[in-house]
């Protein structure tokens, strides 16, 4: 029963999937998510599987529909055009499904971090204020659009035969990066991000479990490339630890969100190209 409660709590925290009692984000809900943060890669694998399965089914459906259209009205002469149309439409719909599935919470963090870094000569306190203000700066929009466009392009380039494995490993890498940030990051005692840092800080045994899960799944699904993608998640997480200290003085929820989005993009880049 406790294991089910933990699973539901982690899924509800990392996605927009409604899971009855876990819908209310209270101290107990956050405490459970923070205490079992080392299991984030497992939830990442689930997210990646759902998105990859959606991508695969959608690609087959669109290929079938465009194939019928091509054979009926064009006598099979437009195969190349409909192939690229299938890939393009599928990519947009898959990215949209991914953003809806995670509830745009990480994208919001990406925009907030972009807002903060756009203020070059601001103090840490001013950057914190800008990041949490109800405004969107040009830098925030550009950063979010750049990451979204690159992710969209990589989805377009990924073949349907590998799309599920790619997404599973990419999401695992992104979640491991978040765990890395909490494991070695600096808590600023402000906001929800500090709860996760305080729960994972220097918990080496828990981090090793998270790392082992990630490397095992990555190696099983994609061999050396999977291990490389997972390792990059850990490395980029380390970079964001340094970055967060310079920008905000420590880890924040926005940094966690931005880390997730950027590491997913980097992992997909490595796996696709």
Q: What are the tens digits of pLDDT across the range 54-69?
A: 999 999 999 999 888 8
Instruction: Report the pLDDT value the prediction gives residue 128, as an integer from 0 to 100.
Output: 65
pLDDT at 219 (0 to 100): 96
The mean per-residue pLDDT over the stretch 244-265 comes to: 89
Sign of the torsion angle spanned by Cα atoms 134, 11, 206, 172: negative
CA distances from 182 to 48, 54, 140 (A): 22, 31, 23
- Provide the phi-psi class of 74: left if phi over 0, else alpha when psi is between -120 and 50, else beta: alpha
pLDDT at 132: 64
* Per-residue pLDDT, 26: 47
Is the CB of residue 151 less than 8 Å from the CB of residue 266? no
The span from the CA of 206 to the CA of 212, in Å, is 10
All residues at 6 or more sequence positions from 103 whose CB lies less than 8 Å from its CB, including other chains: 15, 16
pLDDT over threshold 60, residue 93? yes
- Dihedrals phi, psi of 251, to nearest 5 degrees: -75, 135
Q: What value does the mean pLDDT take over residues 11-18?
A: 85
Neighbouring residues of 199: CB distance < 8 A, sequence distance ≥ 6:
31, 34, 35, 37, 182
In angstroms, the CA 45 to CA 165 distance is 9
What mean pLDDT, rounded, does the chain reach?
A: 86
Of the chain, the percentage scoring pLDDT greater than 90 comes to 52
**Which residues 6+ apart lie within 8 Å of 94 measured at CB?**
51, 54, 55, 58, 155
Break the chain into its structural domains and give their ranges.
2-272
- Are 114 and 139 in contact by the 8 Å Cβ rule? The answer is yes
Q: What is the mean pLDDT of residues 109-118?
A: 82
Is-contact 107 101, C-beta < 8 A? no
In this prediction, residue 148 has a pLDDT band, given cuts at 50, 70 and 90, of: very high
Alpha-helical regions (H) of 38-134: 40-73, 79-101, 105-117, 124-132
pLDDT of residue 27: 45
Higher pLDDT, 193 or 130: 193
Residues of the chain above pLDDT 70, percent: 88
Query: For residue 137, what pLDDT is reported?
Result: 75
Query: Under a CB-based contact definition with an 8 Å cutoff, are residues 14 and 102 in contact?
Result: yes
CA-closest candidate to residue 261, choices 128, 119, 140? 140
Q: Using an 8 Å Cβ cutoff, are 118 and 138 in contact?
A: yes
Q: Alpha-carbon distance 47 to 230, whole Å? A: 16
Range with the lowest mean pLDDT among 82-86, 123-127, 203-207, 226-230? 123-127
- pLDDT over threshold 60, residue 250: yes
């Amino acid at each position: 029963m406790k294991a089910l409660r933990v699973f539901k709590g982690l899924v509800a925290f990392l996605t927009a999937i409604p899971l009855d009692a876990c819908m209310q984000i209270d101290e107990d809900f956050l405490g459970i998510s923070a205490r079992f943060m080392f299991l984030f890669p497992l939830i990442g694998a689930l997210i990646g599987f759902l998105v990859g399965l959606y991508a695969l089914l959608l690609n087959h459906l669109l290929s079938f529909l465009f194939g019928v259209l091509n054979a009926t009205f064009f006598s099979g002469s437009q195969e190349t055009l409909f192939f690229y149309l299938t890939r393009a439409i599928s990519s947009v719909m898959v990215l949209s499904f991914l953003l809806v599935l995670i509830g745009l919470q990480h994208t919001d963090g990406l925009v907030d971090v972009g807002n903060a870094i756009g203020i070059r000569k601001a103090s840490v306190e001013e950057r914190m204020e800008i990041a949490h203000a109800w405004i969107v700066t040009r830098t925030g929009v550009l950063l979010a659009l750049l990451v979204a466009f690159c992710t969209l392009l990589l989805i377009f380039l990924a073949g349907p035969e590998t799309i599920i494995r790619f997404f599973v490993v990419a999401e695992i890498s992104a979640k491991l990066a978040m765990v890395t940030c909490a494991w070695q990051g600096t808590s600023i005692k402000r906001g929800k991000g500090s709860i996760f840092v305080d729960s994972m800080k220097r918990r080496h045994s828990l981090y090793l479990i998270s790392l082992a899960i990630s490397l095992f799944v990555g190696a099983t699904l994609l061999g050396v490339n999977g291990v490389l993608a997972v390792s990059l998640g850990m490395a980029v997480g380390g970079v964001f630890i340094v970055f967060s200290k310079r920008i905000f003085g420590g880890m924040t929820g926005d940094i966690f969100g931005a880390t997730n989005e950027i590491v997913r993009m980097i992992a997909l880049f490595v796996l696709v190209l």
